[in-house]
Amino acid sequence: MIEEKSQNFIEEIIEEDLKNHKYTQIITRFPPEPNGYLHIGHASSICLNFGLTKKFGGYTNLRFDDTNPVTEETEYVESIKEDVKWLGFEWGNELYASDYFETLYKYAIQLIQEGLAYVDDSSSEEIASLKGTPTEPGKNSPFRDRSVEENLEFFTKMKAGVFPDGTKTLRAKIDMAHPNMLMRDPVLYRIKHAHHHRTGDKWCIYPMYDFAHGQSDSIENVTHSICTLEFVPHRELYDWLIEKLRIFPSKQYEFARRNLTYTITSKRKLLQLVNEKFVDGWDDPRMTTISGMRRRGFTPESIRDFCERIGVAKRENLVDMGLLEFCVRDHLNKIAQRRMAVLDPVKLILINYPEGQVEEVMSENNPEEENAGGVRPLFFSRELWIEREDFMEVPAKKWFRLAPGAIVRLKSAYIVKCEGFKKDDKGNITEVHCSYIPESKSGSDTSGMHVKGTIHWISVPHAGIAEVRLYDRLFNVENPAVDDGDFRTHINPDSLRIIKKAYIEASLKEATAGEKFQFIRKGYFTLDKYSTPELPVFNRTVTLKDTWAKESKK
């Protein structure tokens, strides 16, 4: 029996179109402007567009909407390509709106010839003041009724570079009283004597988004042009142009952009965070950019899973960051190699373990895999580093880690009993003293003892050293994007904590970039780009779910 999986509204439309033989194959496109790095919101759009053609047959183009040379750069083009590939998608064609500048120019001439566009000498302020408001109609420009010949002559001269920036525009001749503001003679072309990242200095007039996007879709025979809700009013203009130009009718469908708690997905604001050094570049692990998440240790699988789970709809939304964390834990749990690392060390001395003795114990690499993913050796000795938080001088209720008189298992090694501890003048614990139970060794335990707690450890003489970076949310309010002042005032000052000297087990010294680890009981980690052979630097992707942290707050 085939399980009926519910479809989103766009999938339903496509299925219907296919059933009615409206199209034989589906063509979509992902159309970023190369003026910033991709973020989690784009991931949602990428998964949707590429996922649709994967599911229904066809292909998805990667098209850069590069119609504004002032803000666009090749660096962004490269990062976008890398991110889409990393997410696991292959585009049908790599295209640029700037590839169509010649065609678009011809379209503009066509409109002028048919009396549907005119050259306006008004300044941007004048255009704005004649535009009206959402509740009041606009007024016609004094240049609206120029002859076709005059329009043709001026537009040709605009292209030839005769006029300075801002002195003339080409406008569509539609209706200045139209209830849709976008239909009130929208600007089609503007003069910009600017260098374009691909066409260089060939052009000094550039089409507006509204005169490029829809036609680009049409030129590419895009069947389903999917975008976010704020473009709903543009659809009317998009359809008007397609009709007047008599070109392939791509259809636009809009969905609600995805918002995530405690994050910002505005390229402008992300750029601000980068420029004002609140973060370490676009790929800072605290950023929900694709590159930031990659550096942080997210997997493409987990991001795709997240996008799948949040779905596609048309209503306003604010998705809980907890779901993203669930998705990455879910995947990492299956694939991450278990390792031991002590982040905040305190020394544990086994008072009945012979001085100088060293033995090897075996520990499983991943209990989720068959045969526990194999085992690796760990050195065990008399002096060990353990986590400071795993000892409590005065145990809390339901505490089952170390405390005076308590017993606990050292993961993959022996059961130990706490016999005492040492403090310095300030009252800080400096040493924990335990006796070990020789017959309790993992794998050959004949002690018959039962312990509730198991803790991780690192042998003092065998410990490696690493830097560990712990991240918290970048903003301390759920929705930092709401316009009640400067979003920067919501930045969490404690979003990054660097541990300069953490102790790691020997095998971690050979960690390579991209490998995923679970530091047992501490979370998932991956190597940062600042790692060196001398000093590995680990990023914490996400903590483990911590039921005790919740319990202890009660």
Closest CB to RNA among residues 55, 545: 545
Closest CB to RNA among residues 246, 315: 315
Q: State yes or no: is 545 an active-site residue.
A: no
Tell me the closest approach of the beta carbon of residue 526 to RNA, in angstroms: 16
Closest CA to 234 of 258, 255, 252, 207: 252
Yes or no: say if 174 and 185 are a contact pair by the CB < 8 Å rule. yes
At 151, list the tokens. Answer: 């329009």
Q: State yes or no: is 171 an active-site residue.
A: no
Tell me the closest approach of the beta carbon of residue 431 to RNA, in angstroms: 21
Tell me the closest approach of the beta carbon of residue 333 to RNA, in angstroms: 5
Closest CB to RNA among residues 233, 496: 233
DSSP tag of 55: H
Closest CA to 385 of 436, 337, 430, 336: 430
Tell me the closest approach of the beta carbon of residue 534 to RNA, in angstroms: 28
Block residue for tokens 């996008």: 307
Residues 8, 14, 16, 21, Cα dihedral to 10° = -170
Phi/psi at 389 (5° precision) = -75, -5
Closest CB to RNA among residues 186, 300: 186
Closest CB to RNA among residues 296, 331: 331
Q: Please state, in angstroms and rounded to a whole number, the distance separating the CA atoms of residues 197 and 77.
A: 10
Q: What is the DSSP string of 396-425?
A: PTT--SB-TT-EEEETTS-EEEEEEEEE-T
Tell me the closest approach of the beta carbon of residue 246 to RNA, in angstroms: 24
Q: Please pick, among 192, 198, 257, 269, the residue that the annotation labels catalytic.
A: 257
Q: Please state, in angstroms and rounded to a whole number, the distance separating the CA atoms of residues 253 and 457.
A: 55
Tell me the closest approach of the beta carbon of residue 133 to RNA, in angstroms: 4
Residues 6+ apart with CB under 8 A from 302: 324, 327, 328, 330, 331, 332
Closest CB to RNA among residues 138, 285: 138
Task: Give the start-end residues of each E strand in 175-299.
Answer: 187-191, 205-207, 224-228, 251-255
Closest CB to RNA among residues 92, 233: 233
Between 101-113 and 148-160, two packed helices, what is the crossing angle to 10 degrees? 160
Q: Please pick, among 33, 73, 82, 368, the residue that the annotation labels catalytic.
A: 33
Residue type, 552: S
Q: Please pick, among 29, 235, 267, 329, the residue that the annotation labels catalytic.
A: 267
Closest CB to RNA among residues 145, 369: 369
Tell me the closest approach of the beta carbon of residue 299 to RNA, in angstroms: 16
Task: Report how far apart, in Å, the C-alpha atoms of 19 and of each of 11, 14, 49, 87, 335 are.
Answer: 12, 8, 20, 30, 40
Yes or no: say if 487 and 332 are a contact pair by the CB < 8 Å rule. no
Block residue for tokens 């680009």: 216
Q: Could you tell me how far CA 237 lies from the centroid of its own chain?
A: 32
Q: State yes or no: is 106 an active-site residue.
A: no
Question: HSE on the CB side for 69, CA within 13 Å?
Answer: 20
Tell me the closest approach of the beta carbon of residue 201 to RNA, in angstroms: 17
Tell me the closest approach of the beta carbon of residue 529 to RNA, in angstroms: 26
Closest CB to RNA among residues 442, 476: 442
Task: Report how far apart, in Å, the C-alpha atoms of 502 and of each of 344, 377, 432, 464 are.
Answer: 7, 20, 18, 8
Q: Please state, in angstroms and rounded to a whole number, the distance separating the CA atoms of residues 128 and 131.
A: 5
Closest CA to 405 of 438, 439, 429, 432: 432
Q: Catalogue the active-site residues.
A: 33, 257, 267
